Amino acid sequence: MLAIAAAALCGSAAAAAPPATRPAAGAAAPASIPNLTGLPAYPNLEKASMDDVYRTEALGRWCARFVATTADSLRTVEDWYRKTLARASETDLAHDERFKAPTLSGIKLALGVDYVALYRLANQPTTIELHRCSWNP
């Protein structure tokens, strides 16, 4: 199980430090990187990493985070997650302070306190973030 650490993901000085992750190594890495969030991982990943520790978010939730990229279009990834997480609520990331950037487009799909963020920056691969969260550290 992931170790619990009191490091902030957003909204504090600790957020400036790079997160502890297990980097993907080589083409076969996404299959060998464990997704400990329990949320579904997109099937066509290029790179992936799983945070080694839970992180605190601005609202006080502790979250495990799995981050991956794919060359597939943002639209294709969004459609796959909409179908896979059919009961999730959807938010445009343009309305989420943590993801605001001039060239960023994407969505967040939430299931209770857990969520999936899908986005793309100009000329970059599509990014997938899976967050399994809890109110208890």
Question: What are the tens digits of pLDDT across the range 35-55?
Answer: 999 999 999 999 999 988 888
Dihedrals phi, psi of 96, to nearest 5 degrees: -115, 115
In terms of residue numbers, what domain contains 81? 3-134
- Average pLDDT of the chain is 78
Are the CB atoms for 106 and 115 separated by under 8 Å?
Answer: no
pLDDT band at 30 (very low <50, low <70, confident <90, very high): low
pLDDT band at 79 (very low <50, low <70, confident <90, very high): very high
What percent of the chain has a predicted confidence (pLDDT) above 90? 50
At a CB cut-off of 8 Å and minimum separation 6, what does 4 contact?
53, 54, 62, 137
At a CB cut-off of 8 Å and minimum separation 6, what does 21 contact?
49, 50, 51, 52, 67
More confident residue, 11 or 124: 124
Average pLDDT over residues 43-71: 88
Residue count of the chain: 137
Task: Indicate the number of domains in the chain.
Answer: 1
- In this predicted structure, which of 9-18, 79-88, 92-101 has the lowest mean pLDDT? 9-18
Are the CB atoms for 82 and 52 separated by under 8 Å?
Answer: no
